[in-house]
């Protein structure tokens, strides 16, 4: 049986397991980690979550992680997951309040103060603004940037009534972003220090209540277009507010990009084998 934490980062929920001893592989036997993740993240028949995080050892930082979306796919980075992982590591004595951890996107710095966690993301890349994406016989003007994982950003007027799942799914699987696909964010700018967003997440394959790297992508694109200045408050669908800080050193080059927000420990406990076995 596996010990776990369940945590939420502004509406993104995650299962976190300390796997520095290799307990997950020992427990799973011949079961693939990807299949384990997919089963245990399934809501209503198991614990359920947007993703699962394995905390592992590192020679280059306080710890490393493996991050999995709920469909079992392993990806480079997750902003809200990173904030939850940092607080977990601090609570468990794995790392001090000011820490660094290793991801496939690079080394991430994090700072924990009570339930608020601020992380410095890797510098964004592949930024592109105002290009046309053919979609259902129409032309959609989009923007994109990689903030650890790829994101498309679209500006819309009526965010509450926008078809986030329908349009988001088509963008996510669009041939332009093959083979890996992309996340899709829909943004309304409120003022120079505030935006609101909705996000369709790759790997979850649905709209989520928050997306940290999506919040950062939306802010950086908004800055490129002259809509906002650092810092920016980002209102997400959970009702919480993320804050994004950045330095713009060129019209399309950013550095020292930070994501800050609250985290919440939901519970800790023991994951029974029934939670990740098919029962057959």
* pLDDT, the chain, mean: 96
Give the sign of the dihedral formed by CA 95, CA 232, CA 7, CA 67: negative
- Give the pLDDT mean for 249-270: 95
User: Each residue of 41-74: b (16+ CB within 10 Å) or e?
Assistant: bbeeebbebbbbbbbbebeebbbbbbbbbbebbb
pLDDT tens-digit series, residues 146-191: 999 999 999 999 999 999 999 999 999 999 999 999 999 999 999 9
Question: Distance (Å, rounded) from C-alpha 13 to C-alpha 50?
Answer: 5
pLDDT at 51 exceeding the cut of 90: yes
Structure-block tokens of residue 223:
């800055």
Residues involved in catalysis: 78, 211
- pLDDT higher than 70, residue 262: yes
Q: Residue 279 — very low, low, confident or very high, per pLDDT cuts 50/70/90? A: low
Closest CA to 261 of 83, 90, 130: 83
Distance CA 218, CA 196 (A): 9
Q: With 70 as the cut, is the pLDDT of residue 280 above it?
A: no
215's enclosing H/E stretch is helix 212-224
Given a cut of 80, whether residue 278 has pLDDT beyond it is no
Q: Which pLDDT belongs to residue 250?
A: 86
pLDDT band at 277 (very low <50, low <70, confident <90, very high): confident
Question: Which residues have C-beta within 8 Å of that of residue 160, sequence separation ≥ 6?
Answer: none
Give the pTM.
0.94
pLDDT in tens, 208-229: 999 999 999 999 999 999 999 9
**Per-residue CA distances from 47 to 85, 147, 148, 274, 276 (Å):** 18, 29, 27, 11, 9
Neighbours of 164 (CB within 10 A): 21
What is the sign, positive or negative, of the torsion defined by CA atoms of 79, 80, 81, 83? positive
Alpha carbon distance 150, 214 (integer Å): 9
**Residue labelled with tokens 């392993």:** 74
Percent of the chain with pLDDT over 70: 99
Residue 252 banded pLDDT, cuts 50, 70, 90: confident
Residue 251: pLDDT band with limits 50, 70, 90? confident
pLDDT of 40: 97
Percent of residues, the chain, with pLDDT higher than 90: 95
DSSP 91-151: HTTSS-SEEEEEETTEEEEEEEETTEEEEEPPPPEEEEEEEEEEETTEEEEEEEEESSSEE
Instruction: Say yes or no to pLDDT of 30 above 60.
Output: yes
Cα(213)–Cα(125) distance, rounded to whole angstroms? 13
Token pair of 101, please?
Answer: 């951890």
């Amino acid at each position: 049986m596996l010990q776990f934490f369940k945590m939420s980062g502004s509406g993104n929920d995650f299962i976190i397991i300390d796997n520095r001893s290799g307990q997950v592989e020992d427990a799973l036997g011949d079961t693939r980690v990807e299949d384990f993740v997919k089963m245990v993240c399934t809501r209503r028949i198991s614990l359920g979550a947007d993703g699962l995080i394995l905390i592992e050892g590192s020679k280059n930082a306080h710890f490393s992680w493996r991050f999995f979306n709920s469909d079992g796919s392993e990806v480079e980075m997750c902003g809200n997951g990173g904030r939850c992982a940092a607080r977990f590591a601090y609570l468990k004595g794995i790392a001090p309040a000011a820490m660094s951890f290793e991801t496939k996107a690079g080394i991430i710095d994090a700072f924990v103060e009570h339930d608020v966690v601020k992380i410095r993301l890797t510098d964004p890349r592949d930024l592109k603004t105002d290009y046309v994406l053919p979609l259902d016989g129409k032309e959609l003007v989009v923007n994109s940037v990689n903030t650890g994982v790829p994101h498309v950003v679209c500006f819309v007027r009526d965010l509450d009534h926008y078809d986030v799942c329908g349009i988001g799914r088509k963008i996510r699987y669009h041939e332009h972003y093959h083979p890996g696909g992309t996340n899709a964010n829909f943004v309304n700018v409120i003022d120079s220090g505030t935006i609101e967003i909705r996000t369709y997440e790759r790997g979850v394959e649905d709209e989520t209540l928050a997306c940290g790297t999506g919040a950062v992508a939306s802010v950086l694109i908004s800055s490129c277009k002259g809509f906002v200045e650092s810092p920016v408050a980002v209102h997400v669908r959970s009702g919480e507010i993320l804050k994004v800080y950045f330095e713009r050193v060129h019209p399309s080059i950013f550095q020292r990009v930070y994501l800050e927000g609250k985290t919440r420990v939901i519970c800790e406990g023991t994951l029974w084998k029934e939670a990740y076995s098919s029962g057959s």
